[in-house]
A and B are shown apart, each in its own frame.
Chain A
Amino acid sequence: MICVLYLNRSHEYILNRAEACIMEIYADNAATTAMSPNAKSAMLPYMDEIYGNPSSLHTYGQKAAASLYEFRKTIAYYINADDKEIYFTSGGSESDNQAILTAAKIGERNGKKHIISSKFEHHAVLHTLNKLEKQGFKITLLDVYKNGIVKPEDVRDAIQDDTAFVTIMYANNEIGTIQPIAEIGNICREKGVIFHTDAVQAAGHINIDVKKQNIDMLSISAHKFHGPKGIGALYCRKGIPLYTLIEGGAQERGKRAGTENIPAIAGMAAAFKEACEKIEENTIYVTELRNKLIDELSQIPNSMLNGDKFFRLPGNVNMCFEGIEGESLLLLLDAKGIAASSGSACTSGSLDPSHVLLALGIPAEIAHGSLRLSLSEYNSKEDIDYIIKAVPEVVAYLRDMSPVWEKLQKGEIKYAIQ
């Protein structure tokens, strides 16, 4: 909780406003997180002290190479992988692309052109699958049901003789629901099908064990666990020949060319270590904040939580408020100093609402009124109290000017949320 001058904020319109002091609450940690001080200080020496190119043979280069090796080991350690199975990438999207294209190439070579995924994957997955579909792959997108969770038996039922791979996210980015990864991993291993999971939202927040969970490939992104932006990693199990997206050098064992972004990798390793060491502690604290927020916001009439209440990320709250639209809710909350997100069509540039909420079977008119508040251990109890006070006020204000709400109240249309 910080009190800042409106003048400190960049938007032009705010510059002209007279309000002097507001709360500033960041509740959009699923979009990105503040960097941890540890991660930040871990990066600094690699800017101007240990700045050598790890591919160089001289001492400068070898110092950098030694550090790079340590960072790789750190990432590997916390997901129970081998350091040779970790490839640094530019982030979650690149990791997803590389994993999926790799699995598709392997499948194609073996005459397998069927892919299983879910309806509510991140676009880094869905768009890559669309591309593969145009190249002749068959895609099965599994239902995620009302609670936002894939059923392992659906995965089993969907696997065919020509299934190349399964890609199911670890936890959903919008509604935070956690998928039965170990069960899906078991089924895939048993059937001899490659299993990739986009763990961008889960890594650093939930314990991951690629061996126990039978995960073949896994994508992570540093800025979702208080690391720097523009850096991520792909875990690829030994024996799976990774397809190279970026050609031009021997970095990352020839699988990803380009001089390694060592400062960012240092930051990611420090942030991942810190996050994984504190998983239990953070889970308890953040879950308590989340549950309080869910319980209190659920008191708003005709509101509902999207996705399973229990199998969800500690920090994720995603709710729909009937009769209002998400972008206006978001902007008014921003004016009150609360940074949140919405599955509203209007925030995404397209006019159709979130594919995730639609996948849950939520009608478009309700999905427009969604709000995602994603918390982290950097949020305080006071933040939650402030949000609990602000959201009902803004919802009531918008409902008061909403012709949809008027019709609902007059009984001209029926409430979708009771």
Chain B
Amino acid sequence: MQYSEKVMDHFQNPRNVGKMDDADGIGEVGNAKCGDIMKIYIKVNNGILTDVKFNTFGCGSAIATSSMATEMIKGKPIEEALTLTNKAVVEALDGLPANKIHCSVLAEEAVKAALYDYYKRNGIEPPESLKSCSGCCSSCSTCEEIIC
């Protein structure tokens, strides 16, 4: 198993690490039994994600995908963040080992969970694309029992 240079860079020098006291939306996905939990905080101003922070419990690629996902949506309009896919995160990191793809799924779900939370807090009906979010990558055997 080999991580790309970009994965190692984002793992060793993660961007946007931290918590946010005045977040407009918070999304947390994953489960400690599976070994990954991602928590993403967003700050929204005039429909733009002016700030994004993350906290992650997980392996190297979990930290790297969190970092990359936050970079990809920071400063972008909400509509653009809604279209973020795990595939795009993987591509931006120059690939992930096959058994680590679930980390990118988790990163996408964490972003969506934060957006969902933002909509809910503001009394806005979330778009359909957010409602399917399971908050779980369903990649490990211990995860099945968790209903998100």
Q: A residues near B, CB below 8 A?
A: 11-13, 16, 323-328, 331-332, 335, 344-346, 349-353, 363-365, 368, 401-406
Q: Chain B residues near A403 (CB, 8 Å)?
A: 28, 37-39, 55-57
Within 8 A of A (CB), among B53-84: 54-63
Q: Chain A residues near B141 (CB, 8 Å)?
A: 351-352
**Complex: A402 Cα to B63 Cα, angstroms:** 10
Q: Chain A residues near B1 (CB, 8 Å)?
A: 349
Kindly report which residue of chain A lies nearest to residue B5, judged by CB atoms: A13
Q: Chain A residues near B4 (CB, 8 Å)?
A: 13
Within 8 A of A (CB), among B89-148: 99-100, 102, 139-142
**Complex: A405 Cα to B1 Cα, angstroms:** 28
Is B60's CB under 8 angstroms from A368's CB? no
**Complex: A324 Cα to B1 Cα, angstroms:** 21
3 nearest A-B pairs in the assembled complex, by CB-CB distance: A365-B32, A346-B59, A351-B140
Is B35's CB under 8 angstroms from A353's CB? yes
Kindly report which residue of chain A lies nearest to residue B137, judged by CB atoms: A351
Is B37's CB under 8 angstroms from A331's CB? no
**Complex: A401 Cα to B16 Cα, angstroms:** 11
Q: Chain B residues near A335 (CB, 8 Å)?
A: 12
User: Which of B58, B99, B140 has most chain A Cβ within 10 Å?
Assistant: B58
User: Which of A328, A332, A402, A406 has most chain B Cβ within 10 Å?
Assistant: A328
Partner of A401, one of B9, B17, B99: B17
Partner of A328, one of B11, B32, B100: B11
Q: A324-B57, A402-B55, A403-B55 are in contact. Are A332 and B35 (CB under 8 A)?
A: no
Q: B residues near A, CB below 8 A?
A: 1, 3-5, 8-9, 11-12, 14, 17-19, 28, 32-39, 54-63, 99-100, 102, 139-142
Is B5's CB under 8 angstroms from A16's CB? yes
Kindly report which residue of chain B lies nearest to residue A363, judged by CB atoms: B33
Kindly report which residue of chain B lies nearest to residue A368, judged by CB atoms: B35
User: What's the least CB distance linking B34 to chain A, in Å?
Assistant: 6
**Complex: A335 Cα to B4 Cα, angstroms:** 15
Is A365's CB under 8 angstroms from B33's CB? yes
Q: Chain A residues near B33 (CB, 8 Å)?
A: 363-365
Q: A345-B35, A346-B35 are in contact. Are A13 and B55 (CB under 8 A)?
A: no
Q: A13-B5, A16-B5, A331-B60 are in contact. Are A349 and B37 (CB under 8 A)?
A: no
Could you show 21 A-B contacts with beta carbons less than 8 Å apart?
A: A11-B8, A16-B5, A325-B58, A328-B60, A331-B12, A344-B59, A346-B100, A349-B99, A351-B35, A351-B99, A351-B139, A351-B141, A352-B141, A364-B33, A365-B32, A401-B17, A401-B18, A402-B55, A405-B57, A406-B19, A406-B55
Is B59's CB under 8 angstroms from A364's CB? no
Q: Chain B residues near A344 (CB, 8 Å)?
A: 35, 59
Given contact pairs A401-B54, A404-B32, a sample of 16 additional A-B residue pairs in the complex whose CB atoms are under 8 Å apart: A13-B3, A325-B35, A325-B36, A325-B59, A332-B12, A344-B35, A346-B59, A349-B99, A351-B141, A368-B32, A401-B14, A402-B37, A402-B55, A403-B28, A404-B37, A405-B57
User: Which of A16, A401, A406 has most chain B Cβ within 10 Å?
Assistant: A401
Q: Chain A residues near B8 (CB, 8 Å)?
A: 11, 13, 331
Q: Chain A residues near B11 (CB, 8 Å)?
A: 328, 331
User: What's the least CB distance linking B81 to chain A, in Å?
Assistant: 20
Kindly report which residue of chain B lies nearest to residue A15, judged by CB atoms: B5
User: What's the least CB distance linking B109 to chain A, in Å?
Assistant: 14
**Complex: A18 Cα to B142 Cα, angstroms:** 41
User: What's the least CB distance linking B47 to chain A, in Å?
Assistant: 27
Q: Chain B residues near A325 (CB, 8 Å)?
A: 35-36, 57-59, 62
**Complex: A405 Cα to B39 Cα, angstroms:** 12
**Complex: A353 Cα to B28 Cα, angstroms:** 22
Is B34's CB under 8 angstroms from A401's CB? no
**Complex: A325 Cα to B58 Cα, angstroms:** 5
Q: Chain B residues near A350 (CB, 8 Å)?
A: 99
User: What's the least CB distance linking A140 to chain B, in Å?
Assistant: 23
